[in-house]
Amino acid sequence: MTQRQPSSPYGTHRVVEPAGVLPQAAWRLDVALPLADNEIAVDVRTLNIDSASFTQIKAEVGVDPEAIAAKVREIVATRGKMHNPVTGSGGMLIGTVSAVGATLAGRFDIAPGDAIATLVSLSLTPLHIERIRAVHVERDQIDIDGRAILFETGLWARLPTDIPQTTALSILDVAGAPAQTARLVHAGDTVLVIGGGGKSGTLCVYEAKKRAGPTGCVIGVSPFAVDCERMRALGWADHALQVDARDALALMRSVAELTSGRLADVTINCVNIANTEMGSILATREGGRIYFFSMATSFTAAALGAEGVGRDVEMIVGNGYARGHAEHALNLLRESPKLRQLFEELYT
């Protein structure tokens, strides 16, 4: 190992290759100790793998837990982080703080023994796995014994005491989605949530219904009957469309039929598969807005596709961070017993 560079608040001192890039863009990170003065060490309990990444891994190796565990170990051993080389996405983790660098000890309200969730992607978080204890295929989570390092600028949240930790982890992993939905949706809007039956999609449907109000309309989309049945049972979606969003014309026709041709004012894309960009664009009205939260999105396909069909829409990159997003997302569970029951059933 070459001599590590002087510590940076952005973690560039842990970049092994290529030189001159930030940790997220790096191919490989250095996870070795000692800890720098401006870093936090975390004993990791559980990884929440990004949905697009977990879906891709299952497509590659199958749903056998041992095969998934082997693939995750391979990625982390190769890259020094959980950064899926196919999807480019990571996830997040929960664990217990084991050490706080001297520079941060007096500045941050954090100390060894604190249970935290990281709010930055695993694709930029140095990670070492000692042992994989369990793979929870149904909720995209992996229990491990390992160590992670959080940089000075890395976001984190103290785990709540009133919500089960694995449930909180599943919510915090997608906390940016409902927070951004709250910013985008206004009273009376017609809101289309693609992937509305999934984890982030359910939160967005709930948030959209709150913001659009009785004069608005929320349309949830999923190719799966079980998702549509759940959306109807929960009651926050005014309509649940069983349509594959990869079929752009079919989605556009279905939304046009529901909206008398007006289409959606706001479209929120939460799917974990590729090739839904054009469905999002064609189902959104001229001058409307599209929030691509999905990490399966090709922004090249979205930009050139909108140009190709002559659709003037505002397209927003799915920034997973919004100020106060963690508490905002957790408060959704606190205010809705039905939402909390669903997430505890699925992710505890």
CATH assignment at residue 196:
3.40.50.720
Strand 156-158, strand 239-242: pairing = unpaired
Instruction: Tell me: do 116 and 265 sit in the same domain.
Output: no
The total number of structural domains in the chain stands at: 2
Predicted local distance difference test score (pLDDT) of residue 33: 87
User: What is the model's pLDDT at position 347?
Assistant: 87
CA dihedral sign, ordered 224, 228, 231, 237:
positive
CA angle 259, 208, 328 (to 5 degrees): 170
| Beta-bridge partners for 91 | 49
| Phi, psi for 45 (deg, rounded to 5) | -105, -45
Query: What pTM was estimated for this model as a whole?
Result: 0.88
Structure-token match 């929870």, residue found: 136
Amino acid at 345: E
How far are the Cα atoms of 87, 194, 210, 256 from residue 272, in angstroms, in the given order? 10, 10, 24, 24
112 within some domain: yes
**189 and 337 housed in the same domain:** yes
In a domain, 1, yes or no: no
Considering the domain boundaries, does residue 165 fall inside one?
A: no
In terms of phi and psi (left: phi > 0; alpha: psi -120 to 50; beta: otherwise), the region of 261 is: left
- Assigned domain for 169 exists: no
What lies within 8 Å, CB to CB, of 129 at 6+ separation is 72, 73, 76, 77, 144, 145, 146
Residue 4: what pLDDT? 62
* Residues 275 and 245 placed together within one structural domain of the fold: yes
Given a contact cutoff of 8 angstroms between Cβ atoms, the answer to whether 151 and 9 are in contact is: yes
Q: Using CA atoms, how far apart are residues 199 and 203, in angstroms rounded to an integer?
A: 7
Beta-carbon contacts of residue 163 (< 8 Å; ≥ 6 apart): 171, 330, 333, 334, 340
- Please identify every stretch of the chain with a pLDDT value under 70, giving residue numbers as ranges: 1-5
- Cβ–Cβ contacts within 10 Å for residue 113, how many? 8
What stretch of H or E contains 41? Answer: strand 40-49
For residue 249, being part of any structural domain is answered with yes
Centroid of chain to Cα 239: 24
Please name the amino acid found at residue 18. P
Cα angle: 80, vertex 84, 85; to 5 degrees: 95
HSE at residue 125, side-chain half, CA atoms within 13 A, is 32
Assess whether 314 and 270 both reside in one domain.
yes
Tokens standing for 265?
């004012």
Residue 238 phi/psi, 5-degree rounding, is: -70, -30
Residue 235 in domain: yes
Among candidate residues 170, 218, 201, the one with its CA nearest the CA of residue 343: 170
Q: What is the pLDDT of residue 88?
A: 94
Q: Assess if residue 62 is contained within a domain.
A: yes
Among 35, 36, 34, smallest CA distance to 7 is for 36
Do 193 and 228 fall into the same domain?
yes
Residue type, 197: G
Q: Counting Cβ atoms within 10 Å, is residue 13 exposed (0-12), middle (13-18) or buried (19+)?
A: middle
Domain range enclosing 226: 176-342
138, 57: one domain? yes
What is the pLDDT, as a whole number, of residue 5? 67
Q: Which residue has the tokens 């509305």?
A: 196
138 and 267 in a single domain? The answer is no
Q: What share of the chain is helix, strand, coil (3-state, %, to 5)?
A: 35, 25, 40
Residues 82 and 134 in one domain: yes
Q: Are 194 and 271 in contact (CB under 8 A)?
A: yes
Angle between the 51-61 and 65-79 helix axes, to the nearest 10 degrees? 120
Q: Say how far apart CA 179 and CA 327 lie, in whole Å.
A: 10
In a domain, 109, yes or no: yes
